[in-house]
Structure 1
């Protein structure tokens, strides 16, 4: 089951993990986008629910324990090669999560993990779609009423 030049779309999951107003970013250790900063996430495995998939990916990539929240965004990620052939195709479901325990330890598909100020993400050169998801999650947090 190749991610590159797939026969059908893959289901991906991502997480906007919050700790004291900061968001967790990872530097990718594998394609697609190796070496680039990203939100933690990966592919759903056969037999997993979406919530199980993102919880597993967070644990594998960061070793963190989190409290999973709501879905923040659903998006298509379709990338074509220079010849116009679909090289990657993912349907991605992004969840919000709150840090509970642990220090980020990069593993699996993550080479590095850092807590970043969501208002100063330019140095990380995140894909626009992920910048938009973080902005949406931040806006939701600011507009939520805590009882």
Structure 2
């Protein structure tokens, strides 16, 4: 790839809720956004569907198994020499034990009050709060 080429990197993210309406967040272990909180997810590997990639990423990052449901929305975020094209889906937990793993240093369920505090103190990845609000997907 020459320095002038623009790459689109397909990614997926999961909006996972518990019975109380809290949203599952992970603290990113690596760039982009190292140390910040985000939705679980990651890159779609060659030959994977979005659902397969998201199920794998959820297991790797959170220890949870989940059913991938409806498409919620898509965003683009800057990537080295290109853009991350992130497609987010509603997910329902079907099993597993919550634990941070792989690309996450921490994982937790957050309610709206905690999420708002995290946003105000700069703990969330860029535009997460704005995006979830525009999609009607903020935690309760």
- Give TM class, smaller chain: 0.7 to 0.9
Structure 2 gaps, min length 5: none
> What TM-score comes out, normalization by structure 2 length?
0.81
3-state SS in 1 of match to 2:124: coil
Change over 3 Å in CA distance of 1:128–1:31 after alignment to 2: closer
Aligned length: 132
Tell me: CA distance 1:87–1:76, structure 2 relative to 1, closer, same or farther (3 Å). Answer: same
- How does the TM-score come out when normalised to structure 1? 0.78
- Cα distance in 2 between the residues matched to 1:138 and 1:28: 20
Give how far 1:131 is off.
Answer: 1.7
Structure 1: where are the runs of 5+ without partners?
80-85, 143-147
- Would the alpha carbon gap of residues 88 and 114 (structure 1) be closer, same or farther in structure 2, given more than 3 Å must change? farther
CA RMSD between the two structures = 2.6
Structure 1, residues 77-104: CA drift from partner, whole Å, max 9, x if none? 126xxxxxx5562011011111222331
Distance 1:137 1:66, change over 3 A: farther
Alignment of 1:75-114 (within 5 A): 75-78=75-78, 89-114=83-108
